[in-house]
Amino acid sequence: MRKLRLFTLSMALVLLLAGCMSLASFFPLVTNPLSPQSSMLVVEVGMLQADGSSVSMSNTNATGWAPWVVDANGNVVPFKNFDAESRLDSFYFAENVPAGEYTLKGFYHVYIDYSKSKDGEVASYGPFENYPYHVKQEFALAQPVKLTLNNAEMATFGRYYVQGQWREGAAGTTDDRWAMNEATVKITGDPSDKKALRVAKNWATPAWSDWNTRNPETAADK
């Protein structure tokens, strides 16, 4: 009987942990607020399709995108990305940043230059990691977007759409085949769009529940 109880308890714990991990997999992994004043910056970005719809960005080890945001001192703010939320395009966030003035200058595209990678080396997505095999392209907005972030606040730069083509892409053979053809890149957006915050308000892991107490929007799917 005791063995049966222990087995039942063990199975319950396994199911509980599996349930927690399954729940967490639906949402971005985020660090809890480190202080009562901690804040978060958010931006949504999508790749514009020919029919006018948008999809998440191509963020792989060969080609990836990230917001180009600086603080009041001109320091670049690193962002994490989440590309698997069906209600959003790509969701980028920077948690535990201090209050202050921030500027979205545009977007980075980082691509692998195969001439800079070692034989057998497996590349990683990492637009803020300065990997030796990556080359960074900077695509500036026509008008930078400034944002004043308050203490204990989640705030968004809005929603943006990228159009563009790789020089060659997957079918190419040159070392820089994943570079964007700069002449084809166009970026549009709406700094007032709050969709990313409305969708994030639905996320219910313990860490996101903590952050969402600082999210001023009402939960919605669109």
H or E segment and range at residue 150: none
Q: What is the DSSP string of 70-105?
A: EETTSPBPP-EEE---TTSSEEEEEEEEPSEEEEEE
* Residue of 55, 42, 71, 60 whose CA lies nearest to 157: 42
Q: Using CA atoms, how far apart are residues 21 and 69, in angstroms rounded to an integer?
A: 31
pLDDT (0 to 100) of residue 13? 40
Contact call for residues 59 and 67 (beta carbons, < 8 A): no
Strands 39-48 and 90-97 come out as: antiparallel
Extract the tokens encoding 143: 């008008």
pLDDT (0 to 100) of residue 25? 52
pLDDT (0 to 100) of residue 7? 39
Cα 154 to the center of its chain, rounded Å: 15
Q: Using CA atoms, how far apart are residues 111 and 98, in angstroms rounded to an integer?
A: 30
Q: Which residue shows structure tokens 């999210």?
A: 215
* Residue of 140, 145, 151, 163 whose CA lies nearest to 214: 151
| Percentage of residues in the chain having pLDDT higher than 90 | 83
Q: Express each pLDDT in 77-106 by its tens digit.
A: 999 999 999 999 999 999 999 999 999 999
Average pLDDT, the chain: 90
H or E segment and range at residue 135: strand 134-149
Asked if residue 5 has pLDDT above 60, the reply is no
Asked if residue 222 has pLDDT above 80, the reply is yes
Domain boundaries along the sequence of the chain? 37-212
* Mean pLDDT, rounded, for 180-190: 97
Q: Which residue shows structure tokens 């020919």?
A: 50
pTM score of the predicted model = 0.87
Q: Express each pLDDT in 9-51 by its tens digit.
A: 444 443 333 344 344 457 899 999 999 999 999 999 999 998 9
- DSSP conformational letter for 153: -
Q: What angle do CA 133, 134, 138 make, to 5 degrees?
A: 160
Extract the tokens encoding 26: 């639906």
